[in-house]
Amino acid sequence: LRFFMFDQLKSWITWSWTYLWVLWFALVMAVFHLLHVPVKLHELIQQATSSLVSGIILKYCSAYVDSLATNSLSSWFPNQTRTDSSNENTGSEAEESNECKVWRNSMCLFRGAEYERYTNMTGREALSYYDMNLSAQDHQNYFLCSTDAGKFEYETMQTAWRERDPKLRLELAHKALAHNQNCATALILLAEEECKTVFEAEQKFKLALKAAEDNFRKSHSLSYGLGISSERESLHKFPTMYVANVYENLIETLLEMQSYGEVQSILTRYDEFNLPKSATIYYTTALLKVRLVAERFSPSVALKKGLTPAEMSAVEAIHKALEFNPHVPKYLLEMKPLILPPEHILKRGDSEAIAYSFWHISHWQRVQGALDMLRGTFEGTFRAVPFHVEKAHLFYPYPACTEATDRELLPSWHELSVYPRKETPSSLLFASGLAFGIVILMILVHQFPKPATELFNLPAQWFIHPLKQTYEAVDKFFLHVFSQIEQTWLFKMFI
């Protein structure tokens, strides 16, 4: 009997648990019925429905604005993921696009005679710590070798190159120079950082050159060993010397002398050797081609008759230069202020644009009409071909790491130039602001109907009250005029 009762209880619990949801549903409906009046459930449902409709409208409005301004709004996010078409490059080009290699600026200034003077006058640091650390590494690679190990002056200079404090660096250089008067590396450091004028730095460099020549004469006995050294070991020294970029120094010197023919021959030789390109190469090529047509170039004539072959070649050269480094024109056209060039640059970055423009802006200004042609081509390129540096017609796609690397190379107070970026048209900004303003206004009116009504009535009264006064004044004026006319004898005679 006990087991029978237990089975009956178990079956009853199982049956009740199966249909328990009916009880819960009945309880929920009863609660809704009891709280219908005090909670104002009907109004809450209406508000939820209206909020749902407003959300759907806002969703479609945002989708419309996004589809209308895809190109312009995406320029605000320059570090976003590239499209599939820009990721199709393989091999060395893909590796180059993912690597931001830093190069030594062959046209950098002297720290003591120029950078330090700028800092003392303006109170701003001209160089970043990252840039100076790279220079310290370069100095150790250039001026120190394994044969210098154990020599007091060169061990001291190795410590000096790694030292961050300028005063301690100079003390170590003087200490090494006191031990050996022919220590060329100590003279180089003093010329770069201690001399206050360029003339003093030049005298120090001449002493360093003389010391290096004396040391070279003393090492003539080792020439036989150098001659029979393996070719592979000799080639290891080439990349270290190649970063000096002597071609760019020579190009700038010849442009200053206005020897354009020799510059063209150097550019031709540069192409034959297939050496790494730079902004100096491409913009100098564009300058030489623009120089031939800039004086006779007229935009109005070009629109009517089209471009001549020479003008087309010049425009294509500017397009090619723009695709390689799009930051340069803003500095050449003085749309952005120039700063002192850093000691290291990033190819295709803002640092390279500053280093090029600092020395070459005078060459562009010297050629009459060159900057006008550059301005027209620059503005037309970014207006007609959005994100042309991303499409990679002539080069691998514009690297996404340039902004971060340039930020480390350049001073923190400098406003960094970032590409790819296209300026947003004012009409789009107005339309977007108007759409978002209307949406916010609708939300405020829906949430606060009475204050919103009073707020709208107040400016309406301000606007209607002057009109009402003007209408009454005009009405009184015409009534006065008609009353005066009625009193005239001509009007009475006519009546």
The domain boundary residue, chosen from 390, 423, 456: 423
pLDDT at 427: 64
Q: Tell me, yes or no, whether 483 and 339 share the same domain.
A: no
Asked if the structure places residue 433 within a domain, the reply is yes
Lowest-confidence segment of 222-236, 252-266, 303-317, 427-441 by average pLDDT: 222-236
Q: Tell me, yes or no, whether 466 and 387 share the same domain.
A: no
Asked if the structure places residue 223 within a domain, the reply is no
The domain boundary residue, chosen from 423, 444, 473: 423
Q: Tell me, yes or no, whether 63 and 89 share the same domain.
A: no
Confidence of residue 454 (pLDDT cuts 50, 70, 90): confident
Containing 96, the helix (H) or strand (E) segment is helix 92-98
Mean pLDDT to the nearest integer, 282-300: 83
Backbone angles phi, psi at 184, to 5 degrees: -65, -35
Q: Tell me, yes or no, whether 276 and 412 share the same domain.
A: yes
Closest by Cα among 400, 146, 352 to 245: 352
Q: Tell me, yes or no, whether 169 and 268 share the same domain.
A: no
Which region holds residue 338: left if phi is over 0, alpha if psi is between -120 and 50, else beta? beta
Asked if the structure places residue 143 within a domain, the reply is yes
Distance in angstroms (rounded) separating the CA atoms of residues 355 and 341? 5
Return mean pLDDT, the chain.
73
Per-residue pLDDT of 147-164, as tens digits, reads 666 778 878 888 888 787
Neighbours of 161 (CB within 10 A): 21
pLDDT at 198: 84
Mean pLDDT to the nearest integer, 396-415: 81
pLDDT at 391: 47
Mean pLDDT to the nearest integer, 310-332: 87
Distance in angstroms (rounded) separating the CA atoms of residues 316 and 290? 10
Asked if the structure places residue 284 within a domain, the reply is yes
Terminal-to-terminal C-alpha distance of the chain: 126
pLDDT at 97: 41
Mean pLDDT to the nearest integer, 10-24: 65
Q: Tell me, yes or no, whether 122 and 97 share the same domain.
A: no
Q: Tell me, yes or no, whether 125 and 194 share the same domain.
A: yes
Q: Tell me, yes or no, whether 252 and 387 share the same domain.
A: yes
With 80 as the cut, is the pLDDT of residue 352 above it?
A: yes
Asked if the structure places residue 50 within a domain, the reply is yes
How many CA atoms lie within 13 Å of 416's alpha carbon, on the beta-carbon side? 17
pLDDT at 385: 47
Distance in angstroms (rounded) separating the CA atoms of residues 374 and 364? 9
Stronger pLDDT, 194 or 28, i.e. the higher one: 194
Confidence of residue 357 (pLDDT cuts 50, 70, 90): very high
Asked if the structure places residue 226 within a domain, the reply is no
Model pTM score:
0.62
In the chain, how many domains are there?
4
The range of the structural domain enclosing residue 438 comes to 426-494
With 80 as the cut, is the pLDDT of residue 205 above it?
A: yes
Highest mean pLDDT among 13-17, 202-206, 304-308, 394-398: 202-206
How many CA atoms lie within 13 Å of 73's alpha carbon, on the beta-carbon side? 14
CA dist list (Å): 27 to 18, 30, 31, 35, 100: 16, 5, 6, 12, 68
Q: Tell me, yes or no, whether 65 and 205 share the same domain.
A: no
With 70 as the cut, is the pLDDT of residue 110 above it?
A: yes
Distance in angstroms (rounded) separating the CA atoms of residues 198 and 190? 12
The domain boundary residue, chosen from 423, 440, 468: 423
pLDDT at 145: 66
Cis peptide before 466 (omega within 30 of 0): no
Is residue 103 helix, strand or coil?
strand
Asked if the structure places residue 471 within a domain, the reply is yes
Backbone angles phi, psi at 256, to 5 degrees: -65, -35
Q: Tell me, yes or no, whether 68 and 57 share the same domain.
A: yes
Asked if the structure places residue 224 within a domain, the reply is no
With 80 as the cut, is the pLDDT of residue 387 above it?
A: no
Q: Tell me, yes or no, whether 310 and 290 share the same domain.
A: yes
With 50 as the cut, is the pLDDT of residue 35 above it?
A: yes
Per-residue pLDDT of 435-444, as tens digits, reads 777 777 777 7
Distance in angstroms (rounded) separating the CA atoms of residues 243 and 237? 11
% of the chain residues with pLDDT over 70: 63
Distance in angstroms (rounded) separating the CA atoms of residues 90 and 95? 8
Residues 56-67 as b/e (b if ≥16 CB within 10 A, e otherwise) read eeeeeeeeebee
Q: Tell me, yes or no, whether 354 and 374 share the same domain.
A: yes
402-409 vs 350-366: helix crossing angle, rounded to 10:
80
CA dist list (Å): 115 to 139, 170, 192, 258, 332: 18, 16, 10, 28, 22
pLDDT at 354: 92
